[in-house]
């Protein structure tokens, strides 16, 4: 449906001038890009299956995506950024901005592909009461850099949309116009509107099986050890230990189930 003749249009304007992008991918190429993205993630060991992980939401999952496995491989990040740049449709972009760390790494490479500038958002060092980590804010003069500019907001993996949404809000608060949101992988189940943008592009939608609350988790029931390398298993185990110490033994997990 989309024509091929607009391929690689207008990479002119390095250094912050507007770059008009046309999507150069038809549906076949979009599907191929999704396949290649999955292959790169798999080859990098970023798709971790048969694990028992605890998400920040508190839900337990039988798999996780470890994006940190991709970042050491610059050729792979470069390739993904190139695919992502080609995925963008009809956008005038002055600057790319993403939440650190993942959105910063992908943002730099994507901005390089687009020939525009790159800024990043970071956690506010002074969290508000009730926050575990501070909201994403623009510091280092990046608020002025995005002001009155067309901003493409990027993240590596969008799950709940928490980080990218806060980055969008920070850009707008600084006077930037958010033209679209993009990510390498989308794990969530919502649309652009939920992020507060007109367009949201990603290379791959990865279906993660629904998580379980700990009391319904079959892995806990079967005594599969909670993984502490990924996600928030360490915090979960510490909280459990505290709970058990506090009120004797209620053991909702990790002990082997007896079956029935
Ligand atoms: Zn569990």
Domain chopping of the chain, boundaries: 19-205
Distance 229 CA to ligand 1 centre (A): 15
Give dist(CA 260, CA 93) in Å, integer. Answer: 60
19-205: CATH topology? Rossmann fold (3.40.50)
Distance 65 CA to ligand 1 centre (A): 17
Distance 218 CA to ligand 1 centre (A): 7
Distance 47 CA to ligand 1 centre (A): 19
Distance 244 CA to ligand 1 centre (A): 16
What is the percent of the chain where pLDDT is above 90?
62
Distance 238 CA to ligand 1 centre (A): 14
Omega into 101 within 30° of 0, i.e. cis? yes
> Which residues of the chain fall short of a pLDDT of 70?
1-23, 130-132, 248-260
Neighbour tally for 225: CB within 10 Å: 13
In tens, the pLDDT along 48-78 reads: 999 999 987 788 999 999 989 999 999 999 9
Distance 226 CA to ligand 1 centre (A): 7
In tens, the pLDDT along 196-205 reads: 999 999 999 9
pLDDT attached to residue 42: 96
């Amino acid at each position: 449906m989309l024509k091929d003749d607009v391929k690689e249009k207008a990479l002119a304007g390095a250094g912050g001038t507007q770059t008009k992008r046309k999507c150069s991918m038809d549906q076949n190429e979009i599907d191929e890009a999704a396949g290649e993205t999955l292959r790169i993630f798999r080859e990098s060991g970023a798709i971790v299956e048969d694990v028992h992980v605890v998400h920040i939401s508190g839900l337990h999952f039988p798999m996780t995506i470890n994006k940190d496995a991709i970042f050491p491989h610059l050729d792979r990040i470069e390739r993904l950024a190139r695919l992502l740049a080609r995925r963008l449709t009809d956008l005038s972009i002055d600057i790319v901005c993403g939440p650190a760390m993942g959105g910063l790494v992908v943002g730099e490479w994507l901005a390089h592909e687009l020939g525009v500038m790159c800024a990043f958002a970071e956690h506010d060092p002074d969290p508000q009461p009730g926050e575990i980590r501070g909201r994403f804010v623009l510091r280092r003069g990046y608020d002025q850099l995005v002001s009155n500019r067309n901003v493409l907001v990027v993240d590596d993996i969008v799950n709940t949309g928490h980080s990218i949404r806060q980055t969008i809000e920070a850009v707008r608060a600084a006077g930037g116009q958010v033209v679209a949101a993009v990510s390498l992988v989308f794990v969530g189940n919502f649309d652009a509107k939920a992020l507060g943008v007109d367009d949201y592009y990603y290379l791959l939608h990865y279906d993660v099986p629904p998580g379980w609350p700990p009391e319904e988790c079959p892995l806990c029931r079967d005594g599969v050890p909670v993984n502490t390398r990924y996600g928030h298993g360490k915090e979960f185990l510490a909280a459990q230990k505290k709970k058990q110490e506090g009120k004797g033994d209620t053991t909702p997990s990790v002990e082997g189930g007896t079956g029935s």
